[in-house]
Structures are given as C-alpha cells and as structure tokens.
Chains A and B, each alone.
Chain A
Amino acid sequence: MEVFLEAFITAFTLIINFDVSLFEIVGLSFKISVTSLLIASIIGFPIGVFLAITRFTGRSLIITVFNSLMGMPPVVVGLIVYLLVSRSGPLGWLEILYTPYAMILAQLFLILPIIISLSTQIFVELHKEYKDFFVIFSVPPRKSVITYISDSKDSLITIFLAGFGRAVSEVGAVIIVGGNIDHVTRVMTTTIALETSKGDLPLALALGIILLFISLIINLIANRLKIKINKETYE
C-alpha cells in the first residue's frame, strides 16, 4: 500500500509542480496518438463506408482480414514498421526510424484496422436505412460518404475512443520504432516500462495514474459530446 500511496503523492506533486519532463512526455504521447488517430480516421472511415455499401468479389475476405488485424500484437506491428523504415527497408529513405514519425506510423498500423472494422459494422446498419433514399434522390458518391460519416457521428466517437485507447496505451510497437530516446521519442508507456525496469516504481505508477486519468477525462468528454449530439439530433 505504501508504494501506491507514494505513487499518488509523486503523481500529484509532479502535476501540481507542472514538471517539465513529465508534461513533455505526456504532450508527446498525445501528439503521436492524436495524429495517428486523425490519419487513421481520415483513411479508415471512408474505407468503412466503401466496404459497407459496395458489393464485389473478395469483399468478405477484406473485411475478415481487417477484423483479424484488430488483434495484431503491437510488437509484430513494431517489427513490420521497423523493417519498413529501417535504412535497408523500402521506406528507409524517409529516415524516420527512432523519430516520432515512425511511432505515428506504427500506431497508424495498429488502429487503422480497428477504425475500418468497427466503422464498417456501423455503416452496414446505416446503409440498410439509407440505401433506397440515396438511390431515389441520386445522391452523388462523395456526398453519400460524407453523409454516412456525419450521420453516424455518435457511434463513431466510440470507435474514435477505442482507437485512441489502443494507441495511447500500447508500448510494444513504439518502443521498437521509437527507441525510447529521452526528449525525442519518450512517451508515457515507454517511460513506465523503463522506470519499472529501473525499479523506480513510484514514478512508473505515477505515470500510470496520469494515463488512467487522461483516459477517464477523454471518456467523460466523449460522453458529454455524445449526449450533446443526441440532444441536438433528437429534440
């Protein structure tokens, strides 16, 4: 219990004192996760709509592949991205290994299947309702995609959160491609892993508490947002 108590005190001390290195780590974690999440959403939601509303040979296989990729171990993703961006890899010329860009890429690989798979299920349900309407009024494809996304926004927020949760909490992929370099690629999860291995449990726990606190805040914001959207829509 002493360890937990000490961790809480350390966490609050670090937060109250606006500890620069702590907020640098938290800030970088956010930047990387939010960036990868935005890119994954921009790519993933339209793909989800496409898979939901079109019928072609191999569609089921593609959906099954994305479903399977949702559970892909982060270390495997890290290894794949490492091979891609390492000097001898096909993206080696980008020279992004051990930079936040490689970490964004790794997280993108991790959360894109989540965004695509979960949103496809939502868009399939919406398509059952909208199919006739879109045919009757000859809604252009671009407007259809925008409408599917915009009219599912309350459900998509949940997917967005699932993606963020996966991105911000994973350690295996970012540690392989980021390297946990102080002031460059050190994020909350890699710091927790490092401090635990060094035996500095209070700091590791403190970061863990901050991570949980951030998740809680984001969930609260998302819930408020969902209530607001529902209120606007149903009143």
Chain B
Amino acid sequence: MKDFIKIKNLILFSSKGERNLIDIPNLQFDSKSISVIIGPNGAGKSLLLNLIQGLILPSAGTIKVKSSIKDKSYKKVSIMMQKPSFLRRTTEQNIQFVLELNKDKRKVSYLDVLERFDLIAQRKILANKLSGGEKQRLALALAIITNSKILLLDEPTANADPRTTLKIEKIIKEEAIAGKKILLVTHNIPQAKRLGQDIAFIHRGKVLEHCDKAVFVNHPKVKEINQFLEGEVLI
C-alpha cells in the first residue's frame, strides 16, 4: 500500500505564529518497511512524529492513515518518545499496565517481554531509576506491546551504548519483518543506512527529499543532503 500514511498540506505554526515549524505539502509512506526521517537537530523531525501520533494538533492540513475494516487496531499508532515518560512503578509494573490496556486478546506474558528486551534483571527497579539504555529498551517494549500497526520511533538509540544499539536495531528489524510500519527518526546517518528502506530528509520543517535509500545516499538531489552526509553543520 503506497499511500498508507498520507500527509497533505501539513502546517504547524510556532506559538507566536511568526513562522512555520512544519510545512509539508505532500508526504507519503508505504505500509511496510522501515522509513527513516533524517535531518539536523531542530529540523522538525520529532514534531512531525508528534503530529502523526496526535500529541500535537496541526495548524492546518491532514494526516491520514489507511485503515482496514477487518482489523480495528490497524489504524493505531504508538510512539517511542526521545525522552520517554513512565509510571512511578517498577519496570515490570509498567509493562503489566500497558499489557492490561491491550485490547488485542493475544496473551503476551510480561516475563516474555522482559526477556525479549533484556530487562529481567531490572524488573523490580523503578522505571525512572533505570539507566539511559534500559529506559530506551523499556520505552521500545511499551511501544511494541501495544500491538499497533505503526511504530513511531524518535531517536530510539540516542545515548545508547553499542550493545543496546544493536539490541534495539535487531528488535526494530524483527517488528518490520512481522509486518509493522516503522517511522524512525534519527540524525545518525549510519543507522539510517543500516535500517531504512526509504529516507525522508527534513530541514527547517520542510521535506527536501523522500526517496529510496540507495538514491538518497548515492545521488541526492539537494545540496543540503550532500552537506549533511558530509558532516557539515546545517543551520
């Protein structure tokens, strides 16, 4: 499905309304694979994810996700925030809480979740007391166990050590193979190359290019992408 997520004339004004934080006339993502949204800091990547999730309402425009009549959870979107928030409870209690909310009748054991995300040793620790990498694994676990069709991942490996990064990337690939649509926000070019099938480059709230990974890496059409790939600082 080519236009699984369809963004049309999306605009988000700044709080004072003097400029557009997001200005995307047209952007589409297909229903499978991992799509990467890449760009320099402050480009509007996280804002775009928050708009898709519905945490922020746009000033104008629409975001449509195609739904299937047979599967009511098809339209559901879940997000892993860059700075995730948890309940003031232990790791396992946070997982149990989200599992209880799951309308999907599949029985998923919280122990399986803890094991898959390498959190068994941290199960009795308060979620807010976990280390950065552990928090990211827990946040990813919570996003995944909601059994949404679309996973929005905002810098899922930021500040993570190489071992955690590999673990998280492995899980992301598994979820994509299982049929989930993944929108991955990152400013890590090697990670975008490792995971993405298509890459959207966003700068100053505008999508300058959205194309296949090979085209993006080898034949970028806009000079900003070249500058970004070469490690130049974009303002």
Interface residues of A (CB under 8 A from B): 126, 129-133, 135-140, 143, 147, 151, 233-235
Contact = CB atoms under 8 A, between A and B. Distances in A.
Given A138-B101, A233-B126, A235-B124, A133 B85 contact: yes
Nearest to B126: A234
A32 B146 CA distance: 46
B171 interface: no
Task: Give me the 10 closest cross-chain CB pairs, A-B, nearest first.
Answer: A133-B85, A132-B85, A151-B88, A136-B79, A137-B98, A137-B101, A234-B126, A129-B85, A135-B55, A151-B87
Contacts of A234: 126, 129
Contacts of B126: 233-234
Interface string B146-190: 100000000000000000000000000000000000000000000
Instruction: Give the size category of B's interface with A.
Output: 20 to 34
Contacts of A132: 55, 81, 85
27 contacts: A129-B85, A129-B88, A130-B87, A132-B55, A132-B81, A132-B85, A133-B85, A133-B86, A135-B55, A136-B55, A136-B78, A136-B79, A136-B81, A137-B98, A137-B101, A137-B146, A138-B101, A139-B101, A140-B101, A143-B101, A147-B87, A147-B97, A151-B87, A151-B88, A151-B89, A233-B90, A233-B126
B53 interface: yes
Contacts of A130: 85, 87
B34 to A, nearest CB: 20
B106 to A, nearest CB: 17
B171 to A, nearest CB: 18
Nearest to B90: A233
